[in-house]
A and B are shown apart, each in its own frame.
Chain A
Amino acid sequence: MISTENLVKSFDGKKIVLNGISEKIEKKEKVVIIGPSGSGKSTFLRCLNLLETPTSGKIFFKGEEITAPKVDINKIRTNMGMVFQHFNLFPHMTILENISFAPINLKLQTKEEAHENANRLLKRIGLADKVNAYPGMISGGQKQRVAIVRALAMNPEVMLFDEPPRALDPEMVGEVLSLMHELADEGMTMVVVTHEMGFAREVANRVMFIDEGKIIEQGSPEAIFGNPQHDRTKDFLSKVL
């Protein structure tokens, strides 16, 4: 579904963060990206929906080159959901509005449809009673799950997760990961950057280890966690596991 061709990203012409990544992500794949801090994994993820503009290289989504100049990136993005480390809920809108704003504004759903959808999604995560609350009133774990649900409300074809549980207190991490697990089981194509190795092991069908802007090693979770080949992979895993 998504593929990149020699993706290079550098900041201010000096620091090269992505050093030529060519990769494919197929439908229904759950790709988990791991790696040390500063390795470029988040940057890679953010390139996929063009939140970061690649310095060079191409990105394709469903066969269409989204790095081409005349592309309607907004339309592309409606098919990709993104979940951020710091949730990024809109504090001046209620939970309901957070979830339903984009579908209504982009005329993908009517107001009634969007509200119904939102309520359904909230019910799914057990937060139906928070429908008119403001983000400031709910806990971090709840916020992140609402964020996930907000992205889901757009019916994306792929979900991108940028270290979702990173900013949460340990007791809330579980509920977020559970939701992500559910999504995975439902067949959602997911690209997840995370440090949660447990999640990676359970949910991923491919684990990608990125370091210094390049994919060092990738494979099934068993392969990567059980039998890392490269020294850097081993080095990294020894620190986090």
Chain B
Amino acid sequence: MNRLNETNSLKKKVTLLLLCFTLLLGSFSSFVFAEETASTAPEFIIGNSREEVVLNGEWDWTIFESEDNILPEIIPENFTYDNKVFLPSYTELSDDIKSKELCYVFYNKTFSLANRPGESVIFDYGVSSGAYAVYVNNMKCDTQDISVFLKTGVNNVTVVKEYRQELNDKYHFTDSLKLVFSNTPVITNVNIKTDVKSGTVAVDVALYNSRELAVKTDVSVQLTDGENNVVGSYLVEDVDILEGSNTSANVTGIAIKDFSEKNLWSAAKPNVYYVVVTVSGDSVTIPFGFIPENLFGSEGYEYGMDIIVSDFFANPKNTGYTWSRDWVAAYFDYIKEFNWNVITYRDGYLPKVWSEVALEKGILLVDKNNDEQWKTSQEVLWKKDSDFLAVCKEQLDVSKDVCLYPVIYKGIDGLFAKSPSFTDISKIRLQNLFKTTNVIEPGVHEEKDEGFLGGIISYFKEMINKTFIKDNRYQLFLTGLGNTLLVAAAATVFGVFIGIFVAVIKVAHAQNKYSKKKNPVLSVLNFIAEVYTAIIRGTPVVVQLLITYNVIFVFSDEAVMIGIFAFSINSGAYISEIIRAGINSVDRGQTEAGRSLGLSQFTTMKSIVLPQALKNILPALGNEFIALLKETSVIGYLGVVDLTRAGELVRSRTADAFFTLIFVAIIYFILVFGLSSLIKYFERRLNKSDKH
């Protein structure tokens, strides 16, 4: 999805940029003899060449609000960039921006081109949700002659990302920024899919031709390993790209030479490969790695790193492999190559070999659950005495002195850079690197015998963490339990009201069957009651629930209320039968005695019969409540988070059906068993009072 959006917004931006440059070129040529060049853009591209500018480092930014919220054609003179942000990084925009519905954030940077030393280009990028503009030398761009791409290292498409409301109001900057000026076909996107079982790679290459003429190009795809050996290749010949259009070249099933799933990782040869895509005029190199199957197989994990690190450390036995000292040492060396020297982990479980080697290699291991080392995620960790600088997690305030180099990327927060400068390649490599933990040392297996019991305990520890602790999932269960109890209890209570009403009508009508006085109102009410009971008992409760939600209350969204309503109506019918049975179980003589005294039918029912019927009704009511506890498990159909649904939600995140669902079943069982025992106890007490 992201790729699609980016392609579309890329198209927009490209078009705008092209317009920008046409205009500029046009105006430039008319001012070719003018000394003053401040308001014209230099001719960036000469012939069929390509110019790349890496735009990392410090950027200025500011907020722009206009009355009509349209982007200006020329950067206003009163623009003062009073904020700074460091790219690539995470940063959080100030509250000023968050509070506005619509405003633009302008980023500004001045750079120079390699083939024009001494000449500088002012680049402004104005972005808001849904709109953007590129300015070169203070003028809004719209030229078609030149393709301008803002390339990032992650997936080779734009951009300085638009401001968008993210979960925590984060403003993403991606990995690195490159400004590419090119009028030859450009690779705008490369999609890589790996198949670990067959050791093959499928590559989709998206191309863009900005010129007014169609072009033809070959697309060469080469796979290399970490040591620049070519391990696979394919050539797509003569790909046509029409003027100003996109096209794509797809290659599937490129086999990797000597690929072996088992040997995906070794100390000598880490699992990092590169795709090198070359077209005339552009080339892109992207690292990738193979993800072993069934690694974490669930959609719940958004960010690869967290799982990797924590699962890695949480239960090494689970990965099926162990580490040798050499391997760990090589791992740490490799990390250090990219200037990373802090690894965070959770769960407190750390294989001994790790901490020993970490000490040797100068890698700092930080336990996230250890409060001493690590404060809440909202704060900044300052480590003055160690090798690395601040680790700022999530909340960043650039103006404060506390954190100078915001460096945490969502997704690889296990690793922190020592200094602000790092290459764009390093992060992706590492991301892909850590996508696999299928680690095996060829020929060496140090089986640490945890024992059967140990294995079970570890499994439970892990499952408990995944199911309950992570993301506070236990709260989901609590909500579910609460809703289940609420709906069952409410439905019972309302059902009792309905049930009494219906039962009394039916009993009174039956009593009057032989009397001379026929009460027509009672007959009508009785008819309605019979129909009601028959319908409710004759249709499945789920159907009733869905009808209530989709037909009767189609205008409403209050799923819990609607669920309570439907279940109340439903249990009302069953409870009316319970009450009726309870009433009929009272000896007829009681009614006769009451009526003989001259008491009305109503009084006799109310004061003589019903109080005695209660003894029989109450236990049955209790059972109805218990039945409702289980029946309401279908209320998930409406989206209500009851206990069952909570279990399902967690199951979809942990991908472990066994633990989650068994747990849910156990909770239901405890509820039912506990309540049944309670009811039996009260039943006994009620009956005791009879034995006088």
Contact = CB atoms under 8 A, between A and B. Distances in A.
Contacts of B247: none
Given A67-B516, A91-B612, A101-B607, A154 B597 contact: yes
A78 B594 CA distance: 11
B317 interface: no
A231 B152 CA distance: 121
Given A53-B514, A101-B607, A105-B607, A134 B597 contact: no
A82 B516 contact: no
Given A53-B514, A92-B611, A102 B599 contact: yes
Interface stretch (B205-213, B565-573, B584-592): B584-592
A79 B597 CA distance: 8
Given A88-B589, A134-B692, A51 B612 contact: no
Nearest to B596: A82
Contacts of A67: 516
B518 to A, nearest CB: 9
A160 to B, nearest CB: 8
B517 interface: yes
Contact of A53 (B515, B593, B608, B611): B515
A84 B692 contact: no
Given A82-B593, A105-B607, A136-B690, A92 B598 contact: no
Contact of B587 (A49, A74, A88): A88
A105 B593 contact: no
A106 B692 contact: no
A84 B599 contact: no
A81 interface: yes
A89 B596 CA distance: 12
B598 A74 contact: yes
User: Main secondary structure on chain B at its contact with chain A?
Assistant: helix
Contacts of B690: 91, 136
Contacts of B607: 101, 105
Nearest to B514: A53
A134 B607 CA distance: 16
B599 A106 contact: yes
Contacts, number: 70
Interface residues of A, number: 32
A150 B597 contact: yes
A13 B514 CA distance: 12
B182 to A, nearest CB: 95
A190 to B, nearest CB: 15
Contacts of B594: 90, 102
A86 interface: yes
A53 B516 contact: yes
A137 interface: yes
Most chain B CB inside 10 Å of its own CB: which residue of A53, A89, A105, A147: A105
A226 interface: no
B597 A84 contact: no
A81 B596 contact: yes
Contacts of A79: 598
A170 interface: no
Contacts of A154: 597-598
A21 interface: no
A75 interface: yes
Interface in A113-146: 134, 136-137
Given A53-B516, A69-B517, A105-B603, A90 B608 contact: yes
A77 B516 CA distance: 16
A150 B598 CA distance: 12
B611 A80 contact: no
19 contacts: A51-B596, A53-B514, A53-B515, A67-B516, A74-B595, A74-B599, A75-B598, A81-B596, A82-B592, A84-B593, A86-B587, A88-B587, A90-B612, A92-B612, A105-B599, A106-B598, A106-B599, A136-B692, A137-B692
Given A53-B516, A106-B598, 16 more contacts: A51-B595, A53-B514, A67-B516, A74-B598, A80-B596, A81-B597, A84-B592, A88-B590, A88-B593, A90-B590, A90-B593, A102-B594, A102-B598, A136-B692, A150-B597, A154-B598
Interface of B: 514-517, 587, 589-590, 592-600, 603, 607-608, 611-612, 690-692
Question: 5 shortest A-B CB distances, which residue pairs?
Answer: A136-B692, A78-B598, A88-B593, A82-B596, A88-B589
